[in-house]
Each structure stands twice: as structure tokens, then as C-alpha cells.
Structure 1
């Protein structure tokens, strides 16, 4: 009987601890979202020449620099070939750049900000994306990104990102 009571007690403690963690996680998520959204809003306010469009309620903004051509359909399995420059907001420190190398990615395997933003253009198009951390790498620091561009510790956790993306090819 004591074992059953002990098991039930441990189960209840474990369950209540999970509830507290998830509530704290939601509050932390909302707080970081507010910080990210303020960074993007302040950046757009400081750069009034940028005419950015917000994608739904995501907090991701895009600026179409060249729309591109064609009737391309994007799905999760679409492979895109791109050239890009990634910068931190605020500050504009470059953390990634492809230069003459044009990598290909399956759309479902890139950050959510790209999944939302790249379909705003067609083949040959160019888009600028302002991506809050929740649609990039979130609270996970990326120590391998940015080191070659002078970011000593790599891309920090909760980084708000600014991407210039040229879409070279689309394969479905």
C-alpha cells in the first residue's frame, strides 16, 4: 500500500512540475516575442524608406526587392537554390553570406522565417526578410554561425535576423 501511495505522490509531483514549467515557458516565449517585435518595429521606424509587409501574425516582415517571374508553386518539398546574406538586428553584423556559392535547400528544412518569406517571390526574385527569433533559431545559440565573420561566440540565442535572399531556382 505504501508503494502505491509513493508512486501516486511521485506521479502527481512530476505532473505538477511539468505544468509549472510549461506555464513559465509560455510566459518566457511571450516576453521574448515582445522583445523581438520591438527590435523589428524600432528598425523599421528608424528606416522609413523600407516598405515592409508583415506575414500574417508571425512577426516576420518581408520587402520584395525584385518579384521574379513565373508561376512557381511552393510546398514543403520544394527545393530552392539561393544566394543570401544574413545579418543580426540591431547592428547589422553579418553572420552568414554565400557570395558566389548558391546552396540548395528543401523548404521544409530551413528556418520558419524562410518558409514564410521565400514564397513571397518567384524564380529570379529577391526578398529581404526581418525574422524574429521565434521564426529563426529561437533560444538555441548557433555557435557555428558567424564565427568566420567576427562573431566570437557565433550567433547568440534569441537573435533577430535580417536576410537578403536571391532566389535562383525552384524545383518541385
Structure 2
């Protein structure tokens, strides 16, 4: 019984000490707009890209516009892609056959950006975090990350 009470006291002190540390920490940053904009524009300049910016903050580059069907934000598409950070580190990649999904089931940057291409088209989407995964870590992608995608639109349904 004495061991139980000692353990309970130690646990209570540990929890209250941890709580104090947590309340003294700086709040997690949630707005990366300024940093993301600079990171994207620096990347564009460094890589000599001709990119267009949308009102939402998405940047896109059309290397090949394509000649086939053009999707809408609710279309089902097949896209071959490579996703990476501005450092060049790849975080995701499809096969050459691509992946098929609804554009209303993916990050906002894709829902907005893929419809700029027609089937057969290819280019780059430069996605600020508010159009990606926001300020939160997601499947190994750090919160606040700019995501860059090389994309090729293979099919629209």
C-alpha cells in the first residue's frame, strides 16, 4: 500500500510538472502564408520557371498543355506524379501508369491545379501549405510544408 501511495504521488508530481511545461511553450504556428510565398518564389527564381499564381496562392507551370479532355474540380482523373519539397527530397511518387482518384478527394492544391491541364498535359504544381496539409504533420510531411508536384494528366472520367 505504501508503494502504491508513493507511486501515485510521484505520478501526480510528474503530470503537474509536465502540464506546467506545456503551458509555458509557445503556441504552434498555424499561418505559413508569408514563409510559403517566399519559399515558392525563391524556388521559381532558382529553377528559372515561368509560373502563374492564382488568387488562392497556388503556383503552376504548364510544360505541355495537352490536347485531350480537360477535368473539372469534381472529375475523376488518372495522374502520374512525383511529390517533393523545395529541397528536392521526394515524399511521394506514382508509377508511370499513375493513380486514379476524384479531384474532390485530394488536397485543395490538386483540386484547383489539375484542371489547368488537358489529357496529355504535364507541368508543375507549387502548393503552399494552406492548400496542402496546413500546419499539421501528415503521414511524414511536416506541417507548414510547401509541396511541389511534377504532374502528367493521363485520363479524365
The interval holding the TM-score normalised by the smaller chain is 0.7 to 0.9
Number of residue-to-residue matches in the alignment? 130
SS in 1 for 2:32: helix
- Give the superposition deviation at 1:104: 0.5
**C-alpha contact 1:81 1:169 (8 A) present in aligned 2:** yes
Q: CA deviation at 1:134?
A: 0.5
CA shift, 1:71, in A, is 4.5
Q: CA deviation at 1:75?
A: 3.8
Post-superposition offset of 1:74 = 1.1
Unaligned runs of 5+ in 2: 1-26
Q: How many angstroms does 1:63 deviate by?
A: 0.4
How many Å separate the matches in 2 of 1:100 and 1:162?
18
Q: Deviations over 1:131-156 (max 9, x none)?
A: 0000001112123xxxxxxxxxx211
1: distance between equivalents of 2:144 and 2:73? 27
Q: Does 1:123 align with 2:109?
A: no
Label 1:98 to 1:71 Cα distance change in 2 as closer, same or farther (>3 A): closer
1:11-160 to 2 correspondences below 5 Å? 29=30, 31-47=31-47, 49-55=48-54, 57-76=55-74, 78-89=75-86, 91-143=87-139, 154-160=140-146
Instruction: State the TM-score, normalizing by the size of structure 1.
Output: 0.70
CA distance in 1 between partners of 2:90 and 2:120 (Å): 23
The whole-number CA distance in structure 2 between the counterparts of 1:70 and 1:123 is 4
Report the CA distance between 1:99 and its aligned residue: 2.4
How far residue 73 of structure 1 moved from its aligned partner, in angstroms, is 4.5
Distance 1:99 1:70 in 2: 21
Equivalent position of 2:9 in the other structure? none
Instruction: Measure, in 1, the Cα distance between the counterparts of 2:50 and 2:65.
Output: 14
Computed over aligned residues only, the root mean square deviation of the Cα atoms, in angstroms, reads 1.7
Larger Rg: 2
After the TM superposition, list the runs of 4 or more consecutive aligned residues in structure 1 that deviate by more than 3 angstroms.
none
Whether the aligned pair in 2 keeps the contact of 1:118 and 1:127 (CA below 8 Å) is: no
- Distance in structure 2 (CA, Å) of the matches to 1:51 and 1:70: 23
